[in-house]
Amino acid sequence: MPETYSEAVEEICQIRCDTIKEDFAKIPGSELILANCGNLSEDNVDSILNFIEDKLEKDGERKGLIKKVFSIAVESLQNIRIHGTDDREGVRASFIVIGKEQDGYQIWVGNLTANKIVGEIKTNISKIKDLKPNAIRKIYLNSLSFGKLTERGGGGLGLITIALKSDNNMQFAFEKINENLTLFNMNVKVSAN
């Protein structure tokens, strides 16, 4: 049994991360590339990104595919760092898991978010989720040209970039942890083609 509130929240993230790894290992021909669960520091983010890029280059992946996977990882980790929520003890529990399949890659990320903004996140996701690639590209370019910084410093490009790089092949889930926090889960698929 966890001794502190933070340990309980981190345990929930760890369980979710472990479940993803176990489920992914059952896929024939799959390879787990990376699994990191915990409170992400800036150093951890840099190490994760360097590892991803090096691993995909060593595996001989096409530059375009490396760029897509790397861009999605960057945006996902930035979203965690910028938009994630700390628990009441100051821990920002999160996870990232990357796996290779025969036809591409899957990237799972999860982080805590405040219950009071879950509705806003769902609204933003639903706006993006229903768009065709050309519409996403247009919104992306428009946001680059005319986007405004949000209160937390982002320009709203994170999910748009992820949608663009994955051909909008994203799934989302929200797991309410308690009266204040929800675990935001995202699964992104990147085709090797």
The boundaries of the domain holding residue 76 are 5-191
**CATH number, position 57:** 3.30.565.10
If one counts the domains in the chain, the total is: 1
- The reported pLDDT for the residue numbered 153 is 47
- The reported pLDDT for the residue numbered 147 is 61
Residue 41 is given by DSSP the state -
Burial-class residue 71 by CB neighbours within 10 Å (0-12, 13-18, 19+): middle
pTM, two decimal places: 0.88
- The reported pLDDT for the residue numbered 149 is 46
- The reported pLDDT for the residue numbered 82 is 80
Q: Which residues of the chain fall short of a pLDDT of 50?
A: 149, 152-154
Number of helices followed by number of strands (H, E) in the chain: 6, 5
- The reported pLDDT for the residue numbered 74 is 94
- The reported pLDDT for the residue numbered 85 is 86
- The reported pLDDT for the residue numbered 109 is 95
In this structure, the number of other CB atoms found within 10 A of the CB of residue 147 comes to: 15
